[in-house]
Amino acid sequence: MQIELNGDQMQVAEGLTLSGLITQMGLTGKRIAIELNLEIIPRSQHETTLLQESDKVEIVHAIGGG
């Protein structure tokens, strides 16, 4: 199925969760925030949130500094 990830089209497997997408992207354990169709999805819901055809996903990395 096709989703939009950070503005780019991406082919992903049916039934993929946000948690699965994070793993697939190599972002496990990173400080990130995920927006799905203009709504921030809490980390507690990543495991149970299924992606659907044409979903728009934005992943933002937290960057520390000073």
Task: Map the chain to HEC letters.
Answer: CEEEECCEEEECCCCCEHHHHHHHCCCCCCCEEEEECCEEECHHHCCCCECCCCCEEEEEECCCCC
pLDDT value for 66 = 60
pLDDT value for 18 = 98
* CATH superfamily name and code, 2-41+52-61: Beta-grasp domain (3.10.20.30)
Q: How confident is the model at residue 65 (pLDDT cuts 50, 70, 90)?
A: low
Q: Tokens 């996903």, residue? A: 57
pLDDT digits (tens, 9 = 90+) for 2-60: 999 999 999 999 999 999 999 999 999 999 999 999 999 999 999 999 999 999 999 99
pLDDT value for 59 = 97
Give the pairing type, strands 2-5 and 56-61. parallel
The CA distance from 52 to 21, in Å, is 12
pTM of the model: 0.90
